[in-house]
Each structure stands twice: as structure tokens, then as C-alpha cells.
Amino acid sequence: MSVFIITFTRNQSTTPPMSLIKSIFKKKEMPIRTYADFWNWFGEHEARFHQVVKFQGDIHKVFFDKLAPKLNELHENIYFLTGMADYQTAELILTADGEIKNIPLVEALVDAAPAISNWKITALKQPSEGNHFGIQMDGYVFDESKMNFYSTEHPNMPDQIDITVTHEDLTEQNSESIINGVFIALDNSLGELNFVTTIDHVSVIHPDKAEGELVPIEKLRDFLIWREKEFVEKYEGVRRNTEQDNYSGLEATLENGKPLLAMVNKDLLNWDRKASHPWIAVIEIKFDETNANGLPDESTYVLLDELENNIMEELRDEDGYLNISRQTADSIREIYFACKEFRKPSKVLHKIKRRYADRVRLDFDIYKDKYWQSLQRFMTP
């Protein structure tokens, strides 16, 4: 236990100086539970943060090391960048680092930000001005002088956007550095949201291995805008009601000998408009193994069905969210939805995860799969 002894000269007030009291009894900061809590906290410290960004002080100690734990109290996968937008305005960019399911969290947090003098708060890394590419990393240049691209068409998947980027300096030895640099250059030029939502697949090769006519990389953005516009027009208003659909039960045995049970919407898996619902949401629910065969007992079945029904009440087929299948095996239930867009599923599933946190271990992922290729195992001949 520490003992503090405070002495004063005869004619001073018997009340200790406030600065000394504050140094002894530091104010305990309130926990960050809401977006408002976070921005109130940020507002209390923004002047000091602004100074260290503007004058390039010890930014990690003064700013990053304080900001990161507070963001983690809201959500552990919100990242950030900072710098000066102009001479007087500091910019804080909050990013999901390409994680689709967390993009709506970042956007909501930024939407909740109040106006803060001398600060610009931005959701996600934004596109560069014009069509410019230009970064340097690991001693290599990633710009128009080194990079081109071409698109590969797939007759069986006409809406798939499969981009191959060439880089003149790519070798077997430096492939990791070059591939990382190409992805970062695309992220910086196209912007975080465009990069993860408009391209289905990216390959990086040396120009000598190109199988298509090379196009200047600065034309990539216009190409993607054209393809996205074409895609939206093609599937605008497509909806599906699953009330009368046919379902199939599937059984299999895992390598460990435990059973796998699945229920799939057979009509959906044979649907010829899959690309209209290109986002796949996978919910994984882990439960305690009450039976040696890895299947839930009766009470757990009731809980799992309740949880799935709660999800379906908010993600309805007529609104563009299709419950394709579920499988149960080895103390895990997985539920698969195909979705028209990704923002509402993300918000709903984050909420459901919090609601059931004390009853089951739930996690989820959202990814783009226009032709539901990740669900091929459910597609019986």
C-alpha cells in the first residue's frame, strides 16, 4: 500500500491543490458501450490527438495506444488510419480492413460522430482522386508503368468479375511482396468498399503469362463501374418467395465417424438466378456436446431452432434473404443464407450474436459468391 504525505506552509490554504489531487486520484474512465460513449471520450481528448497528428509527435504513444483499446471495447475488428487532410484538419479513417461483415459497424460508428472542430471523420478507405495508381512498398513500384490488367469471361458464370493484374517485376522469389503490393494498390485506388464488393476474383501474374489482351490499369475503375451498372440493371427487383419450395434431407458420416444431418432448399439450389443474391452469410453455432454422436439433445434442438427462427423473422425471403440450408454435425450447426446485399444481414447477425452470447457460441461470416460455388456439396445430382 502506498502512503502519500502532503505538507503545506503555514499561511497556505488547508485544501490541497487540485492538480495534486488529480495526480493522486486519477479519474477512472467510463467503459465504452455505445457509439455515443466513444465519441464523448474522443471529444475529451481530440485536442491532444490533433496536436500530435499535426506536428508528428509520438503518435503511437499519444494517440494510437489510447484509441485502439477504446475501439476494441466497441468491437475488436475496427481499425484506423490518420493524417492531415489539410494544414488545419486532421482526418481519422475508420476501416474494416476489408472484412465485409464489419463494414456496416464502421459506417454506423462514423454516422454517429458529431461535428468535431478541426477533424474529418471518414468511414472506410476512400478511392484516390482520378484513376491514379501509385504506391511504393518493399522497394517496388505499383503504378501504371508496372501494372496492367485483363478480364476473364466465364460462359457458365457470365456475371463473374475475374480480374488478372500483371506486374512486370513479379518473380518466384518476390511473389509475396508483389502480390501484397498489388492488392494494397487496388485498395488505395478503388477504395475499400469498391475493392471488396465489385471484384469477385483477382489473380496476379507476370505479363509473359497473360492469356488476354492487356489493358492499362488506370482503366480498371471505369471497367468495374460499367460491369456493376450492367449487373444491377440485370437483376433489379429480383425476389424469391420460398414458401412453396421443396426441401431435401441429407445424411453423411464425418471422417471421425460422427453423423452429419442437413436440410437444404432443393429448389433454391437449382435456381437459375443465383447471381441476384450474391452475398452468402454463414452462421456457425457451437453447442456443448451432450451426445457422443455430436448431435444436440432435445432442449438444444429447441434453442437452435428458436435462434434460426429469430434470424428468419428479420431476414425474410421476400426482402432478399434466402435461407438455403443448415447442417448439424460434431456439436456445430451451420446455417446458410444467400442475400441481396450484405449490410442488413451484418447488423442482424451482430445483434443476434450479442443476444445469445450467454447461451451459445455464435459466429458468422459474409462473403461474395455470385454462383453459390461454396455450397456445391449440397447440390445433389
Ordered by where they begin, the domains of the chain are 18-123 (no CATH), 134-235 (no CATH), 247-378 (3.30.70.100)
Work out whether the CA dihedral 212, 215, 220, 222 comes out positive or negative: negative
The grid coordinates listed for 75 are: 468491437
What is the residue whose three cell numbers read 492538480?
Answer: 19
Calpha distance 8→249 (Å, rounded): 83
Calpha distance 374→278 (Å, rounded): 12
Contacts of 292 (CB under 8 A, 6+ apart): none
The grid coordinates listed for 291 are: 451426445
Pair type for strands 119-123 and 79-84: unpaired
Tell me the pTM: 0.88
Calpha distance 124→333 (Å, rounded): 33
Fill in the amino acid letter for 122. Answer: T
3-state DSSP of the chain = CCCCCCCCCCCCCCCCCHHHHHHHCCCCCCCCCCHHHHHHHHHHHHHHHHHHHHCCCCHHHHHHHHHHHHHHHHCCCCEEEEEECCCCCEEEEEECCCCHHHHHHHHHHHHCCCCCCCEEEEECCCCCCCCCCEEEECCEEEECCCEEEEEECCCCCCCCCEEEEEECCCCCCCHHHHHHHHHHHHHHHHCHHHHHHHCCEEEEECHHHCCCCCEEHHHHHHHHHHHHHHHHHHHCCCCCCCCCCCEEEEEEECCCCCEEEEEEEHHHHCCCCHHHCCEEEEEEEECCCCCCCCCCCHHHHHHHHHHHHHHHHHCCHHHCEEEEEEEEECCEEEEEEEECCCHHHHHHHHHHHHHCCCCCEEEEEEEECCCCHHHHHHCCC
Contacts of 350 (CB under 8 A, 6+ apart): 101, 105
**pLDDT tens over the chain, length 381 residues:** 332 222 223 333 334 444 433 443 345 678 999 999 999 999 999 999 999 999 988 999 999 999 999 999 999 899 999 999 999 999 999 999 989 999 999 999 999 999 999 999 999 999 988 767 789 999 999 999 999 999 999 999 999 999 999 999 999 999 999 999 999 999 999 999 999 999 999 999 999 999 999 999 999 999 999 999 999 999 988 888 998 999 999 999 999 999 999 999 999 999 999 999 999 999 999 998 766 799 999 999 999 999 999 999 999 999 999 999 999 999 999 999 999 999 999 999 999 999 999 999 999 999 999 999 999 988 765
Pair type for strands 201-205 and 162-167: parallel
Pair type for strands 332-339 and 321-329: antiparallel
